[in-house]
Amino acid sequence: MKLGIVFGGVSYEHEISIVSAIAMKDVIHTQLVYIFLDQNRDFYLIPTDIIKSKLFSSGEYKKCEKLTLEKGAFFTQKAFLSKSKKIEADLLLNMMHGGDGEDGVIASLLEFNNIKYIGPRKEACSVSFNKFLTKGYASSVNIKTIDYKYFTKNDEVKIDNFPVIIKPVRLGSSIGVSIVKSEKELSYALDVAFEFDDAILVEPFISGIKEYNLAGCKIDGDFEFSIIEEPQKADFLDFDKKYLDFARTSTALKADISDELATKIKDSFKSIYNTLFDGALIRCDFFVKDNEVYLNEINPVPGSMANYLFSDFDGVIKKLSNNLPNTRNIVINYEYVNKIQASKGK
């Protein structure tokens, strides 16, 4: 199997996508082809043997071959007297976190060009990338989330009980997120959050709430789960700490919880995954309070693909590769146009 890894993207999480993608070299045992999307939205073919984070920060990647996305594949560009060459890959793995990767852009581009890929489809992106839509979706599939208030720019934000956590609706990796302990910290936190988005969520901040992460995917109608991890955390992980997390390749420790709770968490994952996340390996982050499970967030392109949660990550990726959803074949036969023309006698 030849697997193309698409990474980078115009996103606040561009850099963590790079370390996340590089981490795959150690955990997927197949031929990898690295395809980088830079901040100008140009694609580059990055040779696997020279890939390292400095290649990107130094701008050296620009010496690599530029690619264009066309029907069925990526191609090198036509140069003087030479033809464009198809980049052979059996399928792609979407490893762009945040914008372009988790917001549905790359899913649309790949779907439009009929390219097979592992990763969230458009709708799955919308309901996980936008935390407000996550709340509505979770409630539709009968999964609890923490209470929240939703505000858009220009709304008057009134908060009665502190502490609260303020989040821009769209970003991941804790960017723009603040814990606000009192009224006097509020206005600064709102400014920060609204700098990143025009809509925010405000939730009560529940100190010491238990957090559990579970990754998985659906293969042939059945779920393939990782272990459940209780992530190590400060009050909450900031971008620096999360950054390091994205390079993780060592196996995590299984959380010490009852079988009953583990089953509850897995059932919640199944409800969320539904059919909407078919084709993707996702990580769901849950809260547990009074033995009740709450969805915190859905990571449809988790950091380093949550490889560290699986005992056989390589095997899961390979099975998933053979179980991707099909696109529906739509036949356009101009039946209605012809009918109207016939009735007009034209």
Closest approach, Cβ 279 to a second copy, in A, equals: 12
Report in angstroms how near the CB of residue 178 gets to a second copy at its nearest: 19
E strand segments, 194-272: 199-204, 210-219, 222-229
Q: Which amino acid, residue 26?
A: D
Residue 194 token pair: 């609204």
In the bound complex, what is the minimum distance in angstroms from residue 336's beta carbon to a second copy?
5
CB of 210 to a second copy, least distance (A): 26
List Cβ neighbours of 195 (8 Å cut-off, separation of 6 or more).
176
Q: Which is nearer to a second copy, 54 or 184 (CB)?
A: 54
Give dist(CA 155, CA 199) in Å, integer.
Answer: 9
Output the smallest distance, CB 225 to a second copy, in A.
Answer: 19
Distance of CA 91 to the CA centre of its chain: 18
- 104/302 with CB nearer a second copy: 104
Q: Kindly tell me which of 277 and 313 has the beta carbon lying closer to a second copy.
A: 277
Q: How far apart are CA 47 and CA 83, in angstroms?
A: 20
Distance CA 333, CA 22 (A): 46
> By the criterion CB under 8 A, which residues form the site for a second copy?
10-12, 14-16, 18-19, 39, 41, 53-54, 56-57, 71, 99-100, 103-105, 107-109, 111-114, 122-123, 125-127, 129-130, 132-133, 135-137, 139-140, 150, 152-154, 196, 198-199, 221, 239-240, 243-244, 274-275, 328, 330, 332, 334-341, 346
Minimum distance, C-beta of residue 330 to a second copy, in the bound complex (Å): 5
97-109: b (≥16 Cβ within 10 Å) or e: bbbbbbbbbbbee
Chain-centroid distance, C-alpha 332 = 33
Nearer to a second copy, 23 or 255 (CB): 23
Which of residues 153 and 181 has its CB atom nearest to a second copy in the complex? 153
